[in-house]
Amino acid sequence: MTRPFTHLHVASAFSLRYGTAFPAALVRRAAEHGMDTLALTDRDGLYGAIKHVIACHEQGIRPVVGVDLALDKGSSTPDDLFGDGLPSGRRAAPRHHTGHGTGHRTGHGRGTAAEPARVVVLARSHGWAALCRLVTAAHHAGERGEPRVTPGMVAEHATGPDGEPLLTVLLGPRSGFGRAAAERRDDQARALLAAWRAVVPDLVVEVCDLYGYRDANTAARMIGLAESMGVPVVPTNAVRYLDAADHQVGNVLDAARKLVPLDGRHLDDATAHAYLKDGAEMARVAARICGGDLDRAGRLLAETRRVADQCALDPVEIVPLLEPEHPRLHLPEAGEDPVPLLRRRCEEGLARRGLERSAEARDRLAAELGVIEKKRLSGYFTSVAGITDMIRAMGVRCAIRGSGAGSLVNYLIGIGEVNPLEHGLLMERFLSEGRKGLPDIDVDVESARRLDCYRAILDRFGEDRVACVSMMETYRARSAIRDVGAAMGLPPHEIDVIAKAFPQVRARQIRAALSDLPELRDSGLNDRSLQTVFRLAERLDGLPRHIALHPCGVLIGNSTLRDRTPVERSLLEFPMSQFDKDDVEEAGLLKLDVLGVRMQSALAYALQEIERVENRKIDLDAVPRDDRETYDMIRLSRTIGCFQIESPGQRELVAKLEPRTMHDLIVDISLFRPGPVNSDMVTPYLETRHGFREPRYPHESLRDALRETNGVVVFHEQVMKVIDIMTGSGLSEADRARRALGTPEGRAAVRAWFVPLATENGYAPDVVERAWKVLDAFGGFGFCKAHAAAFALPTYQSAWLKRHHTAAFLAGVLTHDPGMYPSRVILDEARRCGVGVLPLDVNRSGKTWLVERTGPAGDGLGGYGLRVPLSAVRGVSEAEVDRMVAGRPYTSLADFWERARPSRPVAERIVEVGGLDALHGLRPGEPRWRPGRLTRRDLIAQVGALDRGSPAGAAGQLPMAFTERVTPGELPEMSEAEAVEAELEILGMDVSRHVMDFYQDLLDALGVTRARDLLGQRNGAEILVAGVKVATQTPAVRSGQRVIFTTLDDSTGPIDLTFFESVQAHTAATVFGSWLLAARGVVRRTGGRAVSLRAVHCWNLADLDRVWRAEGLDAVRAVIVETPAPGAGVGGRPIEYGNGFRVSPYSDNGAPPAARGERLPGLSGEPQRRLWHASSGSSGPSPDR
Amino acid sequence: MSRLYGDPIEVWVRDGHPAQFVWRDRLYTVREIQDHWVVAREWWKTSDADPGERRFWRVGAAAGKEVGTYELRFDTASGGWLLLRAWD
């Protein structure tokens, strides 16, 4: 029995826009073929290497890892031997005899001059570090995203210090040698082979026959040349598909990668044969290559075995966590022994936090240190503490998040500000003896300073020891449609319309979405001509397309980090590991998550504004956390702008829950999650909280653990405590059980373990059953209390600032945009809070939103205004803003033009929205403009004159007097509506008046109910409402429906509307497609001060307005009493979780889509900016189609 | 010199390769397979989900004594054979 064949050249999906199969699938197939070794040689990087090694380990296959690298064209050799270096004219003509049919296609990629020559470099058994370093060097040498090597670079890494070979180089059909052989330039081919052999000791020629025209011929020539020079030869299949059927996807990827339409000329493979063939097929290929000479074919296959044996890697060496007992971690070096260092710092922390005398704290500390030292993680904690100290010393706000808040050590050494003892947080949720893997400390910093923090960390540890973590962006519906559409040659604008019509769903849901969603069903996209596009787009689902910096992960390693992971440069020039966050952990590398949080920036900005305007310094972390006025504001759900509690759903929940303490906020944040909502924790919790029902406990012994939430299980920590109390197994084991609750199999296993243990401990069967029901319903959901406690702090702090320093807080929110609402909603909120909105003014506006005092000094509430910043003007550059701010004050438009040097369109836009009104005493809209008075339009005309008067580059060529001369009143002033229209268009918000002001007459005529009057409506009443759309969301809800939640703003307050699936057939397109909405709904009282509407029907308010103007009120009435035609609702099978939780496949996921605005009455043009929040699960088709 | 034909022909296949074919009423026996390659169809130009591939053979074949070189094509979608070309 001969030993099985080994594929030595295999590209997975991690060869971006080239490969089509994931490593695990390839490995599984190899195992099915009875293979015992498999290589992964992705293009340009080791992105899939860890996943490959893990998959191989699971299947009992030996992993080989390599990389497929492009050669630098201007390679160091003077005669250009190595690069593709072929005189291009020699290739075209002689290769095909005639142009007949599609039979003889030229250069299907392997020979085209446009593509660089490539070689495959395999790590030999001890060559992993050399391979990592070679890949890093290749990325360093090439352009970003286009790594290049020279033979010199490969040679440098190919041998160890004693000359032992570490890398094996394969020269295949795409190498310079292979191309020369194919072109019958034998002398050049021999010279290339000799040159490589001179620098690389372990050199192998790779031949390949994909049944393409002349493939076998070329392979035979390569074998002849190699044998004549004594270089070993191996056959490969240059695999890029799992099955032959993936060929079409490969074609699309080739076109997408090269940015060309599909055409035979651009494809890398003319045949569908580059799939993972089994041993028998490969034996046939080998025989074919050898012209039927079976001895020779046998020699080739034996050679393949030899290379495979030499290159087989030890999985555990590369992925230490495959050995969970004693993984070899790669910890940062500390200057001194980290164990006593950490102990000393904790001791100091006890004193600083006033916990020296607390026995509880000492016991807890001893237990935590025991685990940390046993896992040899002391150095990690001291390193992280060093980093957070450094970040705070830079003046950057920094807060701990996640389970790390449960560790007392983190509190004592100043990584976090949450005392775990105060909130009953558990260390075991974060780090425990039994837990596989590494602890993950997450810190939040100001988003605007995140990269500064990264730079500081790099400087401190040195580039060799630190790298950012990367992540793969994958194809989703929109990106897949864009790439397939382009490959198929659809016009770009058409592709854009089609792609934007889709919500942010997975690519494989495309055709399902077309038939399920009412707003797509009638869109005309179901056209047969688009079927191929959609079919292929679905096939791209989930394939990696782009590598990007992970939003927070930073690897902290030691001087061997570059031996463990290849590193490339991110877009912003940060060193970035090619491994994602899972790979990094498996590889035994420690990471710290430094997440940029906009709210932290907003808070920092607010504090800075308070200091600037009031001359008062506030220590936000020292503010008492029991301020009554702050909680009163939260309970009235006046929380727009506040961290975590501003969404419509949260505003409803806080109104019902009425938080009075930090603990209440922690519960509130934990309850507002899909898990608690689905396992119905909210209602029982609220009932017992308000005393409608007695708290119930499955057993007296659980009272302590569950008291804080009145017997309802809300937190992960409580599940752990319940399991620990009833089984006596310890919290560490309990956490392991809790994790297993996430899957049905896990739940069955936990039950089989839990029930007998609890019974043994003397619990009655019915008690055990009751307790198990609670755990079972909890499933893998619920929330980590440590995480909620860490979140609750900025939530409270933001609410406190909003209550006591409203103007400064909202200035921070407007400047850093931390929340879900667009600026115009925040401005409305400011007006409702009594804070003025001050128009753009070149002499007063700054780079960011500034607080101005508009009245006598007060207690921080009255007498303040927010000044629209210059950066809000559409299209303005940062340099322009800097010049404008630096040049203040200005004496006239001409002066402004001269010194601030804005571009003409920017200057015009500034005039249009009134940036020079104050300077020139203009008052559009106020007492009507009279002839002879200067107008904004006059000034715009003057901008034109100034522009013509100043040829680019020259300064001051025309006398001021000339351009200064404006004939006042030559052009009419803008109307109020035009002014607001311009504001929406240019600033993205209505500053001078509320948009709805223009519809008040129509609303009055129709008898529309205003937001401020909603509380007076009786439950069940059917009323009309109208307003500007502020937000649409399609969150996961218990019923498994896709429910659309929409918030309207009619200038008197928010109106929350719910569209259930039963009405979406006739409303979805309008809800997603319009900006101004009128709706009919049924009043639903949800709490003392909470009202929402169940929508029955809705219309585009702008359309109604047009009808009203053209045909009168009766015509409008006729439209709104019309009974909608019955239609189907939303289709699609809900995604069902193990514990019975059902979610619509179209509920929220991913980033917000682009949205379209509406027009003001009687005006053309439309606002282009983001005017409302739209969650990504929804979007709707563009009305254009 | 080769000539183009593109005539439909009937072919007998043995071990996956053409063994005999009838062209213009004469029976040819394949003596030698000189080359064999495959080309995937340009699926994006058709409306079929999978238009299949075309398989080409260049063979030495004879109807009598004289051996000539012929190029045959098999279309997997239609199942039909063509004689594309012949060298005198």
Q: How far apart are CA A1047 and CA A1084, in angstroms?
A: 15
Residues A388-414 have a mean pLDDT of 92
- The region of weakest confidence among A284-293, A913-922, A1038-1047 is A1038-1047
* A247 three-class SS: helix
Q: Which residues of B touch A211 (CB under 8 A)?
A: 36-38
Is A1180's pLDDT higher than 70?
no
Is A178's pLDDT higher than 90?
yes
A532/B contact by beta carbon, under 8 A: yes
pLDDT of residue A1127: 66
Q: How far apart are CA A1110 and CA A841, in angstroms?
A: 38
What is the CATH topology of the domain spanning A476-542? Arc Repressor Mutant, subunit A (1.10.10)
A-interface mutation test, from B34, B36, B39, B74, most A Cβ less than 10 A away: B39
Q: How far apart are CA A1182 and CA A1175, in angstroms?
A: 16
pLDDT of residue A95: 37
pLDDT of residue A263: 84
pLDDT of residue B19: 94
Facing residue for B84 by CB, picked from A100, A270, A272: A100
B-interface mutation test, from A104, A110, A211, most B Cβ less than 10 A away: A211
pLDDT of residue A143: 85
Virtual CA dihedral for A798, A801, A807, A809, nearest 10 degrees? -30
Tokens representing A736 are 């392991």
Residues A650-671 have a mean pLDDT of 90
Q: pLDDT class for A710, splitting at 50, 70, 90?
A: confident
Task: Calculate the CA A495 to chain-centre distance.
Answer: 23
A503-551, pLDDT tens digit by residue?
777 888 888 888 788 777 777 676 777 888 888 889 898 899 989 998 8
pLDDT of residue A2: 67
Domain ranges of chain A: 23-93+107-318, 338-462+591-599, 476-542, 619-794, 849-923+926-973, 995-1174
pLDDT of residue A970: 76
Quick check: A211 and B37 CB within 8 A?
yes
Length of chain B equals 88
**Single-letter amino acid, residue A917:** D
Q: How far apart are CA A81 and CA A199, in angstroms?
A: 14
**Single-letter amino acid, residue A1179:** S
What is the CATH topology of the domain spanning A995-1174? OB fold (Dihydrolipoamide Acetyltransferase, E2P) (2.40.50)
Q: Which residues of B touch A253 (CB under 8 A)?
A: none
A442-484, pLDDT tens digit by residue?
899 999 999 999 999 999 988 889 999 999 999 988 899 999 9
DSSP symbol at A17: T
* B12 three-class SS: strand
A251/B contact by beta carbon, under 8 A: yes
Decide if A476 contacts A505 (C-beta within 8 A).
Answer: yes
A-interface mutation test, from B37, B57, B76, B82, most A Cβ less than 10 A away: B37
Q: What are phi and psi of A925, to 5 degrees?
A: 90, -35
Q: pLDDT class for A1121, splitting at 50, 70, 90?
A: confident
How many angstroms away from the CA of A86 is the closest CA of chain B? 25
Quick check: B44 and A217 CB within 8 A?
no
Q: Which residues of B touch A100 (CB under 8 A)?
A: 4, 84-85
Strands (E) across A514-647 are located at 544-556, 567-569, 575-577, 591-597
A248/B contact by beta carbon, under 8 A: yes
Quick check: A214 and B84 CB within 8 A?
no
Tokens representing A265 are 């000329």
Virtual CA dihedral for A882, A888, A893, A899, nearest 10 degrees? -60
Mean pLDDT of chain A: 85
Residues A772-784 have a mean pLDDT of 76
**Single-letter amino acid, residue A710:** N
B43-57, pLDDT tens digit by residue?
887 766 677 789 999
Of A698, A744, A743, the C-alpha closest to A721 is A698
Facing residue for B37 by CB, picked from A215, A247, A269: A215
Q: Which residues of B touch A213 (CB under 8 A)?
A: 37, 39, 56
Q: How far apart are CA A948 and CA A945, in angstroms?
A: 5
Please name the residue of chain A whose CA is at the shortest distance from the CA of residue B57: A213
Quick check: B38 and A97 CB within 8 A?
no
How many angstroms away from the CA of B26 is the closest CA of chain A? 25
Decide if A1075 contacts A1173 (C-beta within 8 A).
Answer: no
Q: Which residues of B touch A272 (CB under 8 A)?
A: 38, 40, 53
Tokens representing A7 are 């594929």
H-helix segments, A991-1073:
1000-1006, 1061-1073
- The region of weakest confidence among A93-97, A161-165, A206-210, A504-508 is A93-97
pLDDT of residue A184: 93
Of chain A, the end-to-end C-alpha distance in Å amounts to 64
Is A1184's pLDDT higher than 60?
no
Sign of the Cα pseudo-torsion (A786, A791, A794, A798, in order)? negative
A271/B contact by beta carbon, under 8 A: yes
Q: How far apart are CA A632 and CA A650, in angstroms?
A: 15
Q: How far apart are CA A25 and CA A28, in angstroms?
A: 5
Sign of the Cα pseudo-torsion (A293, A295, A297, A299, in order)? negative
Q: Which residues of B touch A97 (CB under 8 A)?
A: 2
A728-750, pLDDT tens digit by residue?
988 888 888 888 887 888 888 99
Quick check: A98 and B4 CB within 8 A?
yes
Quick check: A262 and B44 CB within 8 A?
yes
pLDDT of residue A792: 92
Quick check: B56 and A213 CB within 8 A?
yes
A590-631, pLDDT tens digit by residue?
889 999 999 999 999 999 999 999 899 999 988 998 999 999
For residue A317, what are the contacts with CB-CB under 8 A and spacing of at least 6? A128
Q: Which residues of A touch B85 (CB under 8 A)?
A: 98, 100
CA atoms within 13 A on the CB side of A730: 10
Higher per-residue confidence, A1091 vs A39: A39
Decide if A870 contacts A882 (C-beta within 8 A).
Answer: no
CATH architecture of A23-93+107-318: Alpha-Beta Barrel (3.20)
Q: pLDDT class for A777, splitting at 50, 70, 90?
A: confident
How many angstroms away from the CA of A98 is the closest CA of chain B? 9
**Single-letter amino acid, residue A923:** R
Q: Give the best-scoring range by mean pLDDT among A326-330, A451-455, A1035-1039.
A: A451-455
- The region of weakest confidence among A34-43, A206-215, A1090-1099, A1139-1148 is A1139-1148
Mean pLDDT of chain B: 89
Which own/partner pairs from A494-498 qualify as long-range (CB within 8 Å, at least 24 positions apart)? A497/A1182, A497/A1184, A497/A1185, A498/A525, A498/A530, A498/A533, A498/A1185
Quick check: A264 and B85 CB within 8 A?
no
DSSP symbol at A72: P
Q: How far apart are CA A998 and CA A1065, in angstroms?
A: 30
Tokens representing A625 are 């956390």
B-interface mutation test, from A96, A100, A241, A262, most B Cβ less than 10 A away: A100
Task: Calculate the CA A291 to chain-centre distance.
Answer: 53
A106/B contact by beta carbon, under 8 A: no
Quick check: B47 and A532 CB within 8 A?
yes
A270/B contact by beta carbon, under 8 A: yes
pLDDT of residue A1143: 61
Residues A936-959 have a mean pLDDT of 72
A101/B contact by beta carbon, under 8 A: yes
